[in-house]
Amino acid sequence: MSPTHPAPTAPFAETTMPTPTTVTTRPEWTLPATSARHARERPEHPAIVCERRIVTYADVHEASNRVAHALRTAGVQAGTRIAYLGRESEYYYIVVLGCAKVGAVLVPVNWRLTSAEVDHILRDSGARVLFADSAFAGTIERVRPGLPGLVSVVLVDGPRTADPGQGLRTWWADAPSGELNPSSSPDGPVVQIYTSGTTGRPKGAVVAHRSFFTLPAALRAAGVSWLDWLPDDISLISLPGLGTAGMGWFMHGFNAGLTNVVMRTFVPQQAVRLIRELGVTTTFAAPAMLRMMLDEQDADRAAFASMRKIAYGGAPISSALLTRCMAVFDCEFAQIYASTETASVATCLPPSAHRPGSPLLGSAGLVCPGNEIKIIDERGRTLPPGQTGQICVRTPARMLGYWGMVEETDRTLRDGWLLMGDLGHLDENGCLYLADRINDTIIVAGQNIYPAEVERELGEHPEVVDAAVVGVADERWGEAVHAFVVLAPGASPTPRQLLVFLRARLADYKLPVAFHVVEELPRNPAGKLLRRVLRAGVSAGGTP
């Protein structure tokens, strides 16, 4: 039995080994080609619904053509980085497509980041143009003087206007609506999404057009429907499109020609209402989002009667929550395992495995068609089933690399394999079980938080000598951030003072929910921090 597991070509079976499926990239796998095709074949079909605004595929194609022409007039060339800072709307995706049509690369910027964090992404990417909501004009004013390469800022919604998109329409007012020929290639870059690693320094993962096409094609070729996007579906975009999860879910749906329902930001009450009123059939959400929807007053089977399939991932899910979800949503469920670097789904626990009492509910499922997976030890040797090591994935959807970071790319991509930051093992049937994260990433409601980043800022406090941050299981959010600090002699800052100090430096979702003062941090003889000891102390109700 081979310890390296390729993707399956047959429906999920608990006792059979998967067999290989090959994915061949096709020339038409580009976003401009898809936009043009839908404009021809289903021009009046709703492509995006946002705040009761309905935008057809013909509308999206024409508007993104105008954005592309306006960008070209502004001197944007193939490979130019274009940033977007703002909440989601139809205009965000129109800008994404407009960039693709001129060969530029869209750099999404999380609107919850601090000015310093925004500055780093704009500076590192070398963005020439920034599209932004007027609500973030203050952030732009603070960072722009230090960014001479940022030559233009376009306020998407105009100056505090109640008409979203008015500013963007004014900007492209004189631009033609005809199609451009950017000579797009499936292997060409289209978006650059920032993530972080163990150093806490954000890295720009460059994603190609093909990343949004390979998974559905491989699933169809394998004859499985673990995940699917149907032309008549109505898909709710729950996770933000500023990351690969939300962006990928939107683009898979867009490529299928379905209707995407976009929320400016996730609000559980609004999500439940949209599902009920619009007849939403599918979505992808973090477990915390599913819990928040279920906790709404109007959340019952009748509210979710239209749902046919829900994908979930990004954080662990408890058996109690999953059981509740299956009972109330009353539809198919699929769990996915992925990362920014995979740019698409790596493994999937399909609907057939979601049944009460199934031992597979504790796993991350099988490798998706078109992919391969293996487990390696510290020397890079492939481990047999049952042995825990680093998870490695080979997928045609993977990122092209980290922007401007050759050595970091080489450490992550080796001989076609993507080295994940997680530990796990495969069972005899090729089912993946996660053990721990090598890089100790904390995931709160689907948002990645990197301890080194928080620890670095804590270390700037004049009364903090040493600091460590860990994620602790949390019933509502999946995980919660706990900070451990060693204080300088005679120092006694209160938790609130530490929180206020961090609030000016970090996005709100990265802030610790608790601060534990300790005499020293647990480390091994080599000086390596023992985070598991800290986590265990909190889980036991105390501190180390």
Q: What are the domain boundaries of the chain?
A: 31-337, 442-539
pLDDT top residue among 179 and 84: 84
- Give me the DSSP letters along 497-535: HHHHHHHTTS-GGGS-SEEEE-SS--B-TT--B-HHHHH
**What is the pLDDT averaged over residues 335-352?**
95
**36-52: per-residue pLDDT in tens?**
999 999 999 999 999 99
**What is the pLDDT averaged over residues 48-73?**
96
> What is the predicted pLDDT for the residue at 160?
65
Tally: H helices and E strands in the chain: 15, 27
Q: Could you tell me which CATH number the domain at 31-337 has?
A: 3.40.50.12780
Could you tell me which residues are beta bridge partners of residue 373?
5, 393
% of the chain surpassing 70 pLDDT: 92
- CA-to-CA distance for 236 and 244, rounded, in angstroms? 16
**18-34: per-residue pLDDT in tens?**
445 678 889 999 999 99
57-61 own/partner pairs: CB under 8 Å, 24+ apart: 57/257, 60/35, 60/90, 60/93, 60/94, 60/97, 61/35, 61/36, 61/97
> What is the predicted pLDDT for the residue at 4?
64
Quote the DSSP letter at residue 179: P
Non-local (6+) Cβ contacts of 129 within 8 A are: 71, 74, 76, 80, 82, 83, 150, 151, 152, 153, 154
**190-244: per-residue pLDDT in tens?**
999 998 544 456 899 999 999 999 999 999 999 999 999 999 999 999 998 998 9
Q: Measured over all CA atoms, what is the biggest interatomic distance in the chain, rounded to whole angstroms?
A: 72
**Mean per-residue pLDDT over the chain, rounded:** 90
Quote the DSSP letter at residue 44: T
- CA-to-CA distance for 478 and 448, rounded, in angstroms? 11
- Checking if the pLDDT of 521 tops 60, the result is yes
State the CATH architecture for 442-539.
2-Layer Sandwich (3.30)
DSSP three-state, residue 292 = helix
- Checking if the pLDDT of 167 tops 80, the result is yes
Total-model pTM = 0.85
pLDDT top residue among 388 and 254: 254
Q: What are phi and psi of 286, to 5 degrees?
A: -75, 155
